[in-house]
Structure 1
Amino acid sequence: MSAIVARRLARGKAPRAAFNREEFQMMSKYRALLGASMLAVAAVQPAGAAEKAEVLHWWTTQSQSKAVKVFADAFSAAGGEWVDNAIVNGDVAKPTGINRIVGGNPPTVMMMNAGKQFGELADQGLLRNLDDVAAAEGWQASLPADVLAAVSRDGHIYAVPVNLQTPNWLWYNKALFEKFGVEEPKTWEDFFAVADTFQQGGIIPLAFGAQAWQQHQLFNGVLAGAGGRDLYMSVFRDKNPEAVRGAEFKRVAEVYAKLRSYTDPGSPNRSFNEAASMVITGKAAMHIMGDWEKGEFTSAGWVAGKDYGCVLGLGEQNFLMDSNVFIMPETRSESGAKAQDLMARVMLDKDVQVEFNNLKGSIPVRNDVDTSGLDACSKIGLEALKDPGKQLAGPDWLAGADMLNSLADVVVEYWATPSETPEQFAEKYAAVLAEFQE
């Protein structure tokens, strides 16, 4: 049993399915046993199923469903048959899909995030590389170099990036800000002053969903904004335990802990779109969430800059680079490979990119599309992306899933334990980094 598994069990938690290295390797053994049966299944596939694709993803809110339908409609128009397999919550969808891939029964296409998430699948030979499609479609010229690096492994491309997004936006209800006479915050000190004003006026300052992924995402945003670029890179890139024993990390821990006092008792297990609704209805004034929040605002008829405002990160205003991608599991079926290639071409079509991202709230990943129709907040993001000093690789781009999941456990425990001091939290956080030092 690894120390990671032991630590999770000691906290009363099961190992995270499909992301634990030991479980991954064990499941891979079954793949060989299933190989012959999968070949037999492929041999009897009907000839007319050449462009049929089961697509596993977790875009299930109303706005997300509208966005993903752009891909489905474009795929159908190109001669494909989209078989939708939408699973609520990425923490459920990812292990489900990975277990299927390792077990020999993969979906045709599966959603992931750019970075190291799918590295082990590629290393095990479970993913098709998309080098031929990328070369034919000119991805090297039309996609940012950092994005291409984040979807590559050992010089081969293994995923289709479909957008650029950052998880550390602050969104706010402009009508409430005007009513209370406050300005949009730019620093964490500004935020706390504004939050105090709303709290005294009977408005929930910060809408929040206390789910593990939201808690960890919020903390990473605080780490980047309040801790700064150097500390952030020392954590995720360098995995340096000493970096979190200083005054900068203590401030990050203090800011994160203080945010608890501005949320409401109903936050546990609240979904991000429910938190967004609190801002829309005026129940809460602010929400810290990724670009996908805008899809919820758009569905409510809200307009960026008019009904809602946005701040790209508090403190150091970094664009934490993130991208949704789709991987193509290895298939023994020629028809499956054709469907995957068609899907890759469709998802990165210029017109599809613009339509999808306008609905999703993110930024087109292609650098050669017309962005004049993007909303005011997307244009702020685009301007940030032009400045290398504001670009910061997201955690998934720098660290593996085992480490990120272990850090998430520590962060979630800290949020749930007000009596835990910043120093105690830092020591637990440092212990995880020490375990993953190379």
Structure 2
Amino acid sequence: MNQATIAAAIAAAAAVALALALPGGAAPTAAPATPDAKGGAAPLKATVSHWWTSGGESAAIRQFADAYTRAGGQWIDQAVAGADQSRASTINRIVGGNAPVAAQFNTSKQFRDIVDQGLLNNLDEVAAKGNWDAILPQTIIDAIRIDGHYYAAPVDIHMPAWFFYSKAAFAKAGITGEPKTWEEFIAQLDRLKKAGLIPLAFGGQVWQEKILFDAVFALAGGADLYLRIYRDRDARAVQSAAFRDVLVKFRSLRAYTDAGAPGRNWNDATALVVSGRAGVQIMGDWAKGEFTSAGQVAGREFGCFPGFGAKAPYIVAGDAFVFPKTSRPQVVKAQQLLATVMTAPGPQVEFSVRKGSIPIRPDVDMSRLDLCARTGIAIMQDRTRQLANAEMLLDPDLNGALQDVLTNYWNRNETPEFAQQAFAQAMKDYAW
């Protein structure tokens, strides 16, 4: 479902959408519940739509479900495999009058249309009691606070450009340290290939290709060029020699993938690194959850680094839950309780340990987090290294159009110059 279709569907449904404002008062940790038929307290039921279905993801979201149950709720899991499919399902259910109590989106502009149509409850009361203004990074606030109101509960901070590597594979290839430059990285891929290993574990899906490109873009092109193009829509920057060099470096990595890469799921690519069959995967830190599920420990069986050198840009991304508009008091209470539980320090740590992300807040117990997470938390303290991910800067339609340009370039025999022109045309077609 593309953004134009979503907007049309939302507009058609807006006339019948419930428009009552969110009642005041955020739910306490243990929410009051309506008495059931036997006089006991009935739990606050919450249908929760999300796309976390892999082993590490499932273990992570169970932490929220268990915490919600302990707080007096009843979590009804409604997982839909695939992020695009899950979001489309949510939109269809909102339009059809069968909305879930809460639904997952990325921390991005993906839910802007349903905010604009008045189809979400805001979380201002929960945010005020949770002191979100003070504890959340500005990059996250900018994505979830719209026209002065909070419309999503952020649940994690992900960095989509981590490098995960198998220590066994590196040892087999005679590699003794992490690369400090792009050139060193390419040299290490060559050594892995010579050792008979898959140098770069990769899943040839459109969104994975975009993640790989943005990693190369931020690291090889630099934050300034990245922002000039994604944030400022600078047409001259798209046509620059520096951007051409980014495109060349991006597609050069294709030679280090294996024949089985096209169509491979991201977690299957991670499994290649976990097993030592592949050397490196460039993927979001959610991949770390797969290592954890396999009993591997960062710094022991696998290593991780977020880029080359001490000042590499740190791309900020994440996930958030939105809460469809309703006037039913028990559903509103369930929404407030969910938002409170998901953003609380304890569940944040338990979730992050299993998901591979870092918590949205700094006031948590860091001792349970691994080497990679602690590295990410330390980097996040340096605001100059924080770089908003493309979905925070681009409307979904434009982001999708650029994904199409990049997947064509990755998979076809196109020149970098042709890709530059296609990139520029997409930005022109979807200009504000």
Deviation at 1:146? 2.9
TM-score (norm 1): 0.90
Matches within 5 A, 1:149-298: 149-182=142-175, 183-298=177-292
Contact 2:14 2:117 in 1 (8 A): no
Matches within 5 A, 1:103-182: 103-182=96-175
Matches within 5 A, 1:390-429: 390-417=385-412, 419-429=413-423
**What secondary structure is seen at the aligned counterpart in 1 of 2:408?**
helix
Give the aligned partner of residue 27 of structure 1: 9
Give the aligned partner of residue 385 of structure 1: 380
1:342 equivalent in alignment to 2:337: yes
Q: What are the ranges of 5 or more consecutive residues in structure 2 without an aligned counterpart?
A: 19-33, 37-41
**What secondary structure is seen at the aligned counterpart in 1 of 2:268?**
helix
In structure 2, how many angstroms separate the alpha carbons of the residues matched to 1:50 and 1:305?
A: 42
Give the aligned partner of residue 307 of structure 1: 301
The code of the aligned residue for 2:395 comes to: G
Moved more, 305-314 or 116-125: 305-314
Identity of paired residues, percent?
44
**What secondary structure is seen at the aligned counterpart in 2 of 1:323?**
strand
In structure 1, how many angstroms separate the alpha carbons of the residues matched to 2:129 and 2:195?
A: 59
Moved more, 346-355 or 311-320: 311-320
1:432 equivalent in alignment to 2:426: yes
In structure 1, how many angstroms separate the alpha carbons of the residues matched to 2:249 and 2:389?
A: 20
**What secondary structure is seen at the aligned counterpart in 2 of 1:163?**
strand
The code of the aligned residue for 1:351 comes to: G
In structure 1, how many angstroms separate the alpha carbons of the residues matched to 2:137 and 2:191?
A: 42
Give the aligned partner of residue 10 of structure 1: none
In structure 2, how many angstroms separate the alpha carbons of the residues matched to 1:369 and 1:25?
A: 39
Q: 1:91 aligns with which of 68, 84, 87?
A: 84
Cα 1:158–1:374 change in 2 (3 A) is same
**What secondary structure is seen at the aligned counterpart in 1 of 2:259?**
coil
Deviation at 1:63? 0.9
The code of the aligned residue for 1:94 comes to: R
In structure 2, how many angstroms separate the alpha carbons of the residues matched to 1:127 and 1:335?
A: 16
In structure 1, how many angstroms separate the alpha carbons of the residues matched to 2:152 and 2:342?
A: 11
Aligned residues: 410
The code of the aligned residue for 2:408 comes to: E
Matches within 5 A, 1:45-124: 48=36, 51-124=44-117
Contact 1:34 1:103 in 2 (8 A): no
In structure 2, how many angstroms separate the alpha carbons of the residues matched to 1:116 and 1:381?
A: 23
Deviation at 1:139? 2.0
Deviation at 1:33? 6.4
Contact 2:231 2:393 in 1 (8 A): yes
In structure 1, how many angstroms separate the alpha carbons of the residues matched to 2:199 and 2:10?
A: 47
In structure 1, how many angstroms separate the alpha carbons of the residues matched to 2:16 and 2:132?
A: 35
TM-score (norm 2): 0.91
The code of the aligned residue for 2:425 comes to: A
Contact 1:240 1:433 in 2 (8 A): no
Give the aligned partner of residue 5 of structure 1: none
Cα 1:263–1:332 change in 2 (3 A) is same
In structure 2, how many angstroms separate the alpha carbons of the residues matched to 1:307 and 1:181?
A: 16
**What secondary structure is seen at the aligned counterpart in 1 of 2:426?**
helix
Q: Which runs of 4+ in 1 moved over 3 A?
A: 32-36, 46-50
Contact 1:102 1:126 in 2 (8 A): no
In structure 2, how many angstroms separate the alpha carbons of the residues matched to 1:169 and 1:29?
A: 39
Contact 1:30 1:103 in 2 (8 A): no
1:352 equivalent in alignment to 2:347: yes
Deviation at 1:47? 7.2
Cα 1:407–1:177 change in 2 (3 A) is same
Contact 1:57 1:110 in 2 (8 A): yes
Q: What are the ranges of 5 or more consecutive residues in structure 1 without an aligned counterpart?
A: 1-16, 37-45
Moved more, 285-294 or 181-190: 181-190
Give the aligned partner of residue 6 of structure 1: none
Deviation at 1:79? 1.1
Contact 1:204 1:264 in 2 (8 A): yes
Contact 1:292 1:360 in 2 (8 A): yes
The code of the aligned residue for 2:55 comes to: Q
Contact 1:211 1:271 in 2 (8 A): yes
In structure 2, how many angstroms separate the alpha carbons of the residues matched to 1:393 and 1:278?
A: 29
Cα 1:34–1:229 change in 2 (3 A) is same
**What secondary structure is seen at the aligned counterpart in 2 of 1:292?**
helix
In structure 2, how many angstroms separate the alpha carbons of the residues matched to 1:290 and 1:105?
A: 32
1:321 equivalent in alignment to 2:303: no
Contact 1:114 1:322 in 2 (8 A): yes
**What secondary structure is seen at the aligned counterpart in 1 of 2:337?**
helix
The code of the aligned residue for 1:365 comes to: I
Cα 1:233–1:32 change in 2 (3 A) is closer
